[in-house]
Structure 1
Amino acid sequence: MLRRTLLLCLIALCLPLMAQAQEAPAPVDPALLVADSVVVTPDAELIADGNVEALFEGRRLTATQIRYNQDTDQLVIVGPIRITDTDGTILTAQSAEIDAAFENGLLRGARLVLDRQLQLAAVQLARVEGRYSQLSRAAVTSCQICGPQGKPLWEIRADRIIHDDEEKQIYLDGAQLRVIDVPVVYLPRLRFPDPSLQRARGFLFPTLRSTSKLGVGLKTPYFIPIGPHRDLTLTPYVSAQTTTIEARYRQAFRNGTIELNGAVTRDSLRSGETRGYLFADGTFDLPRDYTLTFDVELTTDEAYLKDYGYSSKNRLDSAISVTKVTRDRLTEGTLIHFNTLRDNESNATQPAFVFDASHQQRLFPSYGGELRLTAEAHGHFRDSDADIIGRDVVRTHAEALWQQTGRSAWGVLWEAGAGVAIDAVRNRGDSTVPVEDAVVAPHGHVTLRMPFVATSGSGARYMLEPVVQLGWTGGDLLETGNDESQRSELDEGNLLTLSRFAAKDRRERGWQGAAGLRWTMVAPSGWRTGVAVGRVVREEDRAAFSTTSGLSETRSDWLISGQIGNETGLDFIGRMLIDDDREVHRAEARGTWSNTRLDLAASYLLLPEDLDEDRDDLVSEWSFDGAYRVSRHWTASAGWQYNLAEDRSSNGSLGLEYQNECVVARFEADRDFADSDNLDPTTTFELTVELKGFSTGGDAGGYRRTCSN
Structure 2
Amino acid sequence: MRALILALGVMLATVLPIAAQDARRPAAVLVADRVSVTADGRLMAEGNVEALYDTTRITAQRITYDPDADRLTLDGPIMLIEGDNAMILADAGALDADLRNGLLRGARLVLEDRVQLAANRIDRVGGRYTQLYKVAATSCRVCASDTPPIWQIRARRAIHDQQENQIYFDQAQLRVLDVPILWLPRLRLPDPTLKRATGFMIPSLSQDSQLGVGIRIPYFIRIGDHRDLTITPFISADSKTLELRYRQAFRNGDLEVTGAWSDDTLRPENRGYVFAEGAFDLRRGVTLSFDIEAVTDKAYLVDYGYSDKDRLDSEIALTRVRRDEYANASLITYRTLRDGEENSDIPTIIGDLRYERRLFPRGLGGELRMGFEAHGHRRYSDVDVLGRDVGRAEADLAWLRDWTLPGGVLARLETGLTVDTFRTRQDSTRDRTAGQATPRAGLTLRWPMVKYGGNGITQILEPVAMIGWVGGDRPNIANDESTRVEFDEGNLLSLSRFPAADRRERGASAAYGINWSRLDSNGRRVALTLGHVLRQDADPDFTLTSGLDGTSSNLLVAGQYVTPDGLALTSRTLFNHDFGLSKAEARAAWIRPDLGLGASYVWLAADAAENRNDSVSEWSVDGSYRLSRHWTGTANWRYDVSSDQTAEAGLGLQYRNECVEVNLSLSRRFTSSSIVDPSTDLGITVGLLGFSGQGFDNSYTRTCRN
1:702 shift after superposition: 5.8
Report the secondary structure of 2:224's partner residue: coil
Distance 1:704 1:7, change over 3 A: farther
Choose which of 567, 572, 577 in structure 1 pairs with 2:574. Answer: 577
CA distance in 2, matches of 1:487, 1:373: 27
1:696 shift after superposition: 5.7
CA distance in 2, matches of 1:49, 1:588: 75
Give matches, 1:504-515, under 5 Å.
Answer: 504-515=501-512
User: Which position in structure 1 is the counterpart of 2:320?
Assistant: 324
1:129 shift after superposition: 4.4
Q: Is the 8 A contact 2:53 2:98 kept in 1?
A: no
Report the secondary structure of 1:226's partner residue: strand
User: Which position in structure 1 is the counterpart of 2:370?
Assistant: 373
Q: Deviations over 1:103-156 (max 9, x none)?
A: 443211010112322111011123344443222221001122224444322211
416-425 or 172-181, larger mean C-alpha shift: 172-181
CA distance in 2, matches of 1:429, 1:4: 94
CA distance in 2, matches of 1:131, 1:465: 69
Matched residue type, 1:606: W
107-116 or 458-467, larger mean C-alpha shift: 458-467
162-171 or 91-100, larger mean C-alpha shift: 162-171
CA distance in 2, matches of 1:459, 1:195: 48
User: TM-score, with normalisation over the residues of structure 2?
Assistant: 0.95
1:77 shift after superposition: 1.1
Q: Is the 8 A contact 1:605 1:620 kept in 2?
A: yes
User: Which position in structure 2 is the counterpart of 1:86?
Assistant: 83
Give matches, 1:402-421, under 5 Å.
Answer: 402-421=399-418
User: Which position in structure 1 is the counterpart of 2:386?
Assistant: 389
Matched residue type, 1:495: L
User: Which position in structure 2 is the counterpart of 1:667?
Assistant: 664
Matched residue type, 1:325: V
Distance 1:30 1:696, change over 3 A: closer
2:517 counterpart of 1:499: no
1:264 shift after superposition: 1.0
Distance 1:26 1:398, change over 3 A: farther
Q: Is the 8 A contact 2:14 2:20 kept in 1?
A: no
Distance 1:49 1:331, change over 3 A: same
Matched residue type, 1:362: R
User: TM-score, with normalisation over the residues of structure 1?
Assistant: 0.95
Instruction: Please provide the CA RMSD for this pair.
Output: 2.0
CA distance in 1, matches of 2:23, 2:242: 50
Matched residue type, 2:388: R
1:642 shift after superposition: 0.3
User: Which position in structure 2 is the counterpart of 1:246?
Assistant: 243
Aligned-pair identity (%): 49
Report the secondary structure of 1:76's partner residue: strand
CA distance in 2, matches of 1:165, 1:536: 70
Q: Is the 8 A contact 1:315 1:340 kept in 2?
A: yes
Choose which of 298, 302, 307 in structure 1 pairs with 2:303. Answer: 307
CA distance in 2, matches of 1:332, 1:40: 80
Q: Is the 8 A contact 1:286 1:292 kept in 2?
A: yes
2:421 counterpart of 1:427: no
Q: Is the 8 A contact 1:121 1:138 kept in 2?
A: yes
Distance 1:663 1:88, change over 3 A: same
Q: Is the 8 A contact 1:285 1:292 kept in 2?
A: yes
Give matches, 1:156-305, under 5 Å.
Answer: 156-271=153-268, 273-305=269-301
User: Which position in structure 1 is the counterpart of 2:585?
Assistant: 588
Q: Is the 8 A contact 1:11 1:56 kept in 2?
A: no
377-386 or 633-642, larger mean C-alpha shift: 633-642
User: Which position in structure 2 is the counterpart of 1:342?
Assistant: 338
Q: Is the 8 A contact 1:478 1:506 kept in 2?
A: no
CA distance in 1, matches of 2:387, 2:662: 53
Distance 1:126 1:472, change over 3 A: same
Distance 1:167 1:448, change over 3 A: closer
1:171 shift after superposition: 1.9
Give matches, 1:508-657, under 5 Å.
Answer: 508-657=505-654
2:357 counterpart of 1:361: yes
Report the secondary structure of 1:43's partner residue: coil
Q: Deviations over 1:650-678 (max 9, x none)?
A: 11111112222222222222211220010
Choose which of 454, 465, 478 in structure 1 pairs with 2:451. Answer: 454
CA distance in 1, matches of 2:475, 2:705: 75
1:4 shift after superposition: 6.3
Distance 1:538 1:81, change over 3 A: same
Matched residue type, 2:406: A
Distance 1:303 1:26, change over 3 A: farther
Matched residue type, 1:120: L
CA distance in 2, matches of 1:540, 1:456: 45
258-267 or 407-416, larger mean C-alpha shift: 407-416
1:198 shift after superposition: 2.1
86-95 or 664-673, larger mean C-alpha shift: 664-673
User: Which position in structure 1 is the counterpart of 2:135?
Assistant: 138
Q: Is the 8 A contact 1:117 1:700 kept in 2?
A: no
1:616 shift after superposition: 1.4
Q: Is the 8 A contact 1:10 1:54 kept in 2?
A: no
1:3 shift after superposition: 4.0
2:105 counterpart of 1:108: yes
Q: Deviations over 1:394-426 (max 9, x none)?
A: 011111110111111122211111111111110
Report the secondary structure of 1:243's partner residue: strand
CA distance in 2, matches of 1:135, 1:306: 49
Q: Is the 8 A contact 2:334 2:348 kept in 1?
A: yes
1:575 shift after superposition: 1.3
Q: Is the 8 A contact 1:142 1:700 kept in 2?
A: no
Q: Is the 8 A contact 2:13 2:30 kept in 1?
A: no
Report the secondary structure of 1:590's partner residue: strand
Choose which of 31, 39, 45 in structure 1 pairs with 2:36. Answer: 39
CA distance in 2, matches of 1:147, 1:103: 33
Q: Is the 8 A contact 1:123 1:138 kept in 2?
A: yes
Q: Deviations over 1:356-410 (max 9, x none)?
A: 1100111111121111111000010000010101000001111111011111112
Q: How many residues align?
A: 696
User: Which position in structure 2 is the counterpart of 1:333?
Assistant: 329
Q: Deviations over 1:241-268 (max 9, x none)?
A: 1111111111111111101001111111
Matched residue type, 2:325: R
1:228 shift after superposition: 1.4
Q: Is the 8 A contact 1:548 1:586 kept in 2?
A: yes
2:93 counterpart of 1:96: yes
Report the secondary structure of 1:288's partner residue: helix
CA distance in 2, matches of 1:106, 1:262: 50
Q: Deviations over 1:639-658 (max 9, x none)?
A: 11000000011111111122
150-159 or 241-250, larger mean C-alpha shift: 150-159
Q: Which runs of 5+ in 1 are unaligned?
A: 13-24
504-513 or 154-163, larger mean C-alpha shift: 154-163
Matched residue type, 1:617: D
Choose which of 399, 402, 418 in structure 1 pairs with 2:396. Answer: 399
Matched residue type, 1:136: Y
CA distance in 2, matches of 1:192, 1:474: 72
Matched residue type, 2:351: F
Matched residue type, 2:460: M
Q: Which runs of 5+ in 2 are unaligned?
A: 1-9
Q: Is the 8 A contact 1:424 1:437 kept in 2?
A: yes
Q: Is the 8 A contact 1:478 1:505 kept in 2?
A: no
Distance 1:70 1:452, change over 3 A: closer
